[in-house]
Amino acid sequence: MVATVETITAVEEATGKYKYGFVTDIESEKAPKGLNEDIVRFISAKKNEPEWMLNWRLKAYRHWLKMPTPDWSKLAIEPIDYNDIYYYSAPKSIDKLNSLDEVDPELLATYEKLGIPLSEQKMLAGVAVDAVFDSVSVATTFKEELGRAGVIFCPISEAIQQYPELVKKYLGSVIPVADNYFSALNCAVFTDGSFVYVPKGVRCPMELSTYFRINEKNTGQFERTLIIVEDEGYVSYLEGCTAPQRDENQLHAAVVELVALTDAEIKYSTVQNWYPGDETGKGGIYNFVTKRGACKGDRSKISWTQVETGSAITWKYPSCVLTGKDSIGEFYSVAVTNGAQQADTGTKMIHLGEGSKSTIISKGISAGKSQNTYRGLVEIHRTADTARNFTQCDSLLVGQTCGAHTVPYIVSRNPSGKIEHEATTSRISEEQLFYCLQRGMSEEDAVSLIVNGFCKEVMKELPMEFAVEAQKLIGISLEGSVG
């Protein structure tokens, strides 16, 4: 039992070790604090948006005002004062850049420090990056090369200007304006994010990725991502996130919409490492995110892979609406909570199309005093003949003071549907830990090894370039904790 106590201590110590907690000293331009129609108009004007976009935002804002805060999750959330937040913050130097050479060196240095060099020579081979700093995109790499393949990869603010027809057609088509409280808020005040369009028959020649960074104090980040893949197209997209270490909670309410048409495939991976707060629960990001993909076309496929290690609170259910015949939805998740973190995460698989299939593999690891909940819905509608789902939820506990919860919702309205659900809960045993220690590994290395073994099925779904990084991240988040 001694080892367990030591493990817990090590975990608690580790929570002070957030590597990305630094702040970039950069002059920024902000909207006045608070939220009202003028702020919505301010953001829209800043982005030079057309009238239809502003109206869309205002409609969302008016909806949001009437909506109650959701309280169904297993999360203890301090009331949020929406008037005490800055909804727009942009580095001053950011106006109208033509090339990377013009990006403020402070910003380049920030991303360099985060391990994301933005100069194309230094980049990971074959990965294009969009870097979003507070409310704006500061750089997008490899645009030209992608352009030659016909792939559009740009900040969504730019897409609204340049590809209004595509944006009009698909924005809000998967997640309607009034879908939920946080998505409605996002619709009203989103500032930037990434836009991806893959035309018919094109396999995107490189991994696309967006790195989100919240820098300013008291600033919310409301990013909006829209990915459209036409018939027989393919794209693999990855997002990463970090934020400085601050005592206050900061709100991150993103919306991600994916659209896959006939025979199209989207692979969306997330490595989420927002600042988790300290071990007493002070500070940290509120990560309230709505992600949904529409498998509209027959045989289309959307695969979500997420590695969630950060944030004080995570509220997130990347989902698939499987409309196409024989379409496929996948959800692979590793959620690590430590210290006072809370996570309520999972997925929704909505089967509408005949022969649609879904797979859910969720691995939750709780340590410290954290609470980790898997919440998932599998729904087979009348139209979805022979639809199938397989779900596996495994929880791993470290110590005596954390919690792991599994809340599956299963609805089948079609007698030919088949749903399987498997769940396990276990601990890293003292025996396993001692076995590794006896082979000379430090406790930290041992825990990292065991936890990565536990998560292996999910980790192998990550693009190669990021798998190693994610493995290390899990080790760091749990330093010393079992897994």
Residues of this chain that interact with other proteins (CB under 8 A) are 1-4, 6, 429-432, 434-443, 445-446, 449-450, 452-457
Element containing residue 9 per DSSP (H, E): helix 2-14
Q: Are the C-beta atoms of 291 and 349 separated by less than 8 Å?
A: no
Residue type, 213: R
Q: Which of 476, 448, 451 is nearest to 395 (CA)?
A: 451
Residue 436 CB, nearest distance to other proteins (Å)? 8
447 backbone dihedrals φ, ψ, rounded to 5°: -65, -45
- CB nearer other proteins, residue 386 or residue 432: 432
Q: Around 252, how many Cα atoms within 13 Å sit in the side-chain half-sphere? A: 32
Q: What is the DSSP letter of 246?
A: -
Q: How far apart are CA 214 and CA 357, in angstroms?
A: 37
Residue 435 CB, nearest distance to other proteins (Å)? 4
Q: Which of 385, 329, 394, 387 is nearest to 361 (CA)?
A: 394
- CB nearer other proteins, residue 1 or residue 51: 1
Q: How far apart are CA 13 and CA 36, in angstroms?
A: 42
Q: Are the C-beta atoms of 303 and 340 separated by less than 8 Å?
A: no
Give pairs for 2-5: CB < 8 Å, separation 24+: 3/430, 3/433, 3/434, 3/443, 4/399, 4/400, 4/430
Residue 4 CB, nearest distance to other proteins (Å)? 8
- CB nearer other proteins, residue 206 or residue 436: 436
- CB nearer other proteins, residue 52 or residue 434: 434
Residue 457 CB, nearest distance to other proteins (Å)? 7
322 backbone dihedrals φ, ψ, rounded to 5°: -95, 85
Q: How far apart are CA 90 and CA 417, in angstroms?
A: 50
- CB nearer other proteins, residue 329 or residue 475: 475
Instruction: For residue 268, list its beta bridge partners.
Output: 237, 304
- CB nearer other proteins, residue 4 or residue 140: 4
Residue 475 CB, nearest distance to other proteins (Å)? 11
Residue 442 CB, nearest distance to other proteins (Å)? 6
- CB nearer other proteins, residue 139 or residue 470: 470
- CB nearer other proteins, residue 162 or residue 429: 429
Residue 473 CB, nearest distance to other proteins (Å)? 17
Residue 440 CB, nearest distance to other proteins (Å)? 4
- CB nearer other proteins, residue 293 or residue 483: 483
Q: How far apart are CA 259 and CA 150, in angstroms?
A: 17
Residue 198 CB, nearest distance to other proteins (Å)? 34
Six-digit token string for 28: 């920024």
- CB nearer other proteins, residue 409 or residue 434: 434
Q: Sign (positive/negative) of CA torsion 18, 458, 372, 345? A: positive
Q: Are the C-beta atoms of 207 and 237 separated by less than 8 Å?
A: yes
Instruction: Tally the residues of the chain.
Output: 483
| N-terminal to C-terminal alpha carbon distance within the chain | 15
Residue 5 CB, nearest distance to other proteins (Å)? 9
